[in-house]
Amino acid sequence: MTPGPDSSLYDRVGGEAWFVALVDRFYDLVEGDPVLRPLYPEDLTGPRDHLAGFLAQRWGGPPKYSEARGHPRLRLRHAPFAIGPAERNAWLRHMSSALAAGQLDDQDRAELEAFFDSTSTMLINREER
């Protein structure tokens, strides 16, 4: 059965596997980025799992992220990291590239892009160097 237009984005894209693949594409780009890589631990397994779980839940999937980690509290969780416009722009550029490879319809892609744009802007916590 094909998900209808009233279904969640999670269901329309194919569920958790789609979000895991999106996050894998994203972190593959982060690994080689001189601006972003220093913000992450050496082992990216945890960040990959956390982001995939958060996104899947945010877009209609099961609440596994909140069950494991509690409320997302994005600003609080990102407060320890120096996130300026350069970091935000690099993050958004890589996420946009990862999205472009995700074979989404225009409406779903626009919805995700708008979320990533506004959320990444909200997480800026310092001025440009």
Rounded distance between C-alpha atoms, residue 81 and residue 110, angstroms: 28
Asked if residue 73 belongs to a domain, the reply is yes
pLDDT single digits (tens) 110-124:
999 999 999 999 999
Model pLDDT, residue 127: 83
| Burial call 86-125: b when 16+ CB within 10 Å, e when fewer | ebbebbbebbeebbeebebeeebbeebbeebeebbeebbe
pLDDT single digits (tens) 75-89:
989 989 999 999 999
Tally of structural domains, the chain: 1
Asked if residue 104 belongs to a domain, the reply is yes
The model's pTM is 0.90
Asked if residue 52 belongs to a domain, the reply is yes
